[in-house]
């Protein structure tokens, strides 16, 4: 991470408490389930990776500097970084991007240009990760938004244990058939 958009340095972050999204604990509220059922959007992957990172960085305060942006583009070109995108009427309206190593997905950032865009992206991403055999969805930090979707914090030592397990074996980023975000999940309240 960088301290800001203009910070030329990149820092490694290993927080005392790490945010993770339990893949079997993703919470789909009734409102999110209604958005999914209503449709009117298209879920895509990796069709606009650079645009997703740009949208994630387009805020007053960001940790995405030019160095990080370039490194993620390199990771994407090498097949290690991916984006889950939500499109409506030909416009990119929400998304999340991250890095895949072994059976771990390291969520880096997300954005929403319209209500529910990032939640839809996360719902589709979790369905993809579950179907592909992933065992760790690292969110780095726990935000109120992520907590409302089921993310939790775990101690550093527990995270390192789960990470070591996730780095053994390979997951499938493009499982087939790909289930929908509501398949096998009961929407909450």
Q: Assess if residue 1 is contained within a domain.
A: no
Q: Assess if residue 179 is contained within a domain.
A: no
Q: Assess if residue 161 is contained within a domain.
A: yes
Please give the residue range of the domain that contains residue 83: 17-166
3-state secondary structure the chain: CCCCCCCCCCCCCCCCEEEECCCCCCCCCHHHHHHHHHCCCEEEECCCHHHHHHHHHCCCCCCCCHHHHHHHHHHHHCCCEEEEEEEECCEEEEEEEEEEECCEEEEEEEEECCCCHHHHHHHHHHHHHHHCCCCEEEEECCCHHHHHCCCEEEEHHHHHHHHHHHCCCCCCCCCCCCCCCCCCCCCCC
pTM of the full structure: 0.89
Report the number of distinct structural domains present in the chain: 1
Q: Assess if residue 158 is contained within a domain.
A: yes
At 94-129, the pLDDT tens digits run 999 999 999 999 998 889 999 999 999 999 999 999
Q: Which residue has the higher pLDDT, 183 or 49?
A: 49
CATH at 94: 3.40.630.70
Percent of the chain beyond pLDDT 70? 86
Instruction: State the average pLDDT for the chain.
Output: 88
At 131-163, the pLDDT tens digits run 999 999 999 889 999 999 999 999 999 999 999
Q: Assess if residue 172 is contained within a domain.
A: no
């Amino acid at each position: 991470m960088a301290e800001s958009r203009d910070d030329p340095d990149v820092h490694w972050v290993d927080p005392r408490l790490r945010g993770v999204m339990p893949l079997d604990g993703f919470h789909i509220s009734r409102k999110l389930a209604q958005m999914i059922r209503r449709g009117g959007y298209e879920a895509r992957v990796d069709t606009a990776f650079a645009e997703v990172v740009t949208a994630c960085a387009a805020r007053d305060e960001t940790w995405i500097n030019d160095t990080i942006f370039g490194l993620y583009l390199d990771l994407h070109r090498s097949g290690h970084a991916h984006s889950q995108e939500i499109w409506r009427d030909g416009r990119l309206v929400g998304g999340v991007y991250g890095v895949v190593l072994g059976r771990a997905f390291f969520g880096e950032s997300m954005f929403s240009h319209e209500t529910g865009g990032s939640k839809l992206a996360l719902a589709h991403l979790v369905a993809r990760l579950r179907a592909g055999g992933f065992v760790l969805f690292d969110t780095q930090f726990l935000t109120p938004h992520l907590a409302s979707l089921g993310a939790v914090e775990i101690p550093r030592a527990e995270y390192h244990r789960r990470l070591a397990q996730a780095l053994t074996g390979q997951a499938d980023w493009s499982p087939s058939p790909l289930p929908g975000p509501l398949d096998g999940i009961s929407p909450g309240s």
